[in-house]
Structure 1
Amino acid sequence: MAPLLGVLRVLLGGFFALTGAAKLSEQIAAPASQQMKALFEQFAEVFPLKVFGYQPDPMSYQVAVGWLELLAGLLLALGPPKLQEISNFLLIVLMMGAIFTLVSLEESLITCVPAVVCLVLLLMLDICQYAVRTQKVVTPTGKKSPSTVTKS
């Protein structure tokens, strides 16, 4: 199961790193660049913290999401286990925000599918990695530990 989780982790990390890079550079996704700018203008309108009086600049919002996806994706794919856990958590929060945004914009269900699939895969990865870790801790080695109590 661990090799399968490793493959899933690398694939998800690579996917997020690429989507983050596409948000940061017009050269990677030139045709979609203008469309992405227009989308982030809409996304900024329904930003979750808007109820507290904060509405981000759409371009800054796009850059922040791009860097978060790029760095968290790279750490998920290539980082040490503790940073993988942190990046997985950050990507889960990001996908929950993406779903919130799409629902707030009343987008069609088909538009929400990629974010939902990514969220499910990230949650599955997190749960399975937790199960593997706890299984390693709980699995007995078969050796008896020496007794610390001696009879006199």
Structure 2
Amino acid sequence: MALLLAALRVLLGGFFVLTGAAKLSEHISPPVSRQMKALFVQFAEVFPLKVFGYRPDPMSYQVAVGWLELLAGLLLALGPPMLQEISNFLLIVLMMGSIFTLVSLKESLHTCIPAVVCLVLLLLLDICQFLVRPTRRKTPSTVKESWE
């Protein structure tokens, strides 16, 4: 089970590293980069904090999301366990925001599927890691050993 979770963590981390890099660099895929710029103009219009009067610059928004995906993906795939949990949480929040944005733009279900699949996999990873995590309970034998 631990090997399966590690594989899922590395695959998800690699996916987010690639998507983050695609948002940050025009050299990876110029057509995707042009499409991302157009999409982030729309995304900025329905930004969740808009109700509080904050509307991000679309280019800055794209760069921030790109760096978050890139760094959180790297930490999810290669980081120590505590940073893996933090990056998993950040990516879950990011995917929830992505789904909110796509629903706010009234995009088709077909467009929302990648974000929903990523969210489900990240939640699955989080739940399974919580269930598999070894618990350290103090039993009389471990208490006795610590005194010696």
Q: How far apart are residue 139 of structure 1 and its match?
A: 8.8
The equivalent residue for 1:121 is 121
The equivalent residue for 1:130 is 130
The equivalent residue for 2:30 is 30
Where 2:135 maps in the other structure, the secondary structure is: helix
Point out where structure 2 has 5 or more consecutive residues left out of the alignment.
none
**In the alignment, structure 1 residue 17 sits paired with structure 2 residue 17:** yes
Larger Rg: 1
The equivalent residue for 1:82 is 82
**1:118-149 deviation per Cα after TM superposition (whole angstroms, max 9, x unaligned):** 0000000000000001xx22799xx972897x
Amino acid at match of 2:21: A
Alignment TM-score, normalising by the size of structure 2? 0.92
- Divergent runs of 4+, >4 A: none
Q: What is the percent sequence identity of the aligned residues?
A: 80
Q: What value does the CA root-mean-square deviation take over the aligned residues?
A: 1.9
CA 1:7/1:30 → structure 2, altered by over 3 Å: closer, same or farther?
Answer: same
Amino acid at match of 1:21: A
CA 1:67/1:147 → structure 2, altered by over 3 Å: closer, same or farther?
Answer: closer
The equivalent residue for 1:145 is 141
Alignment TM-score, normalising by the size of structure 1? 0.90
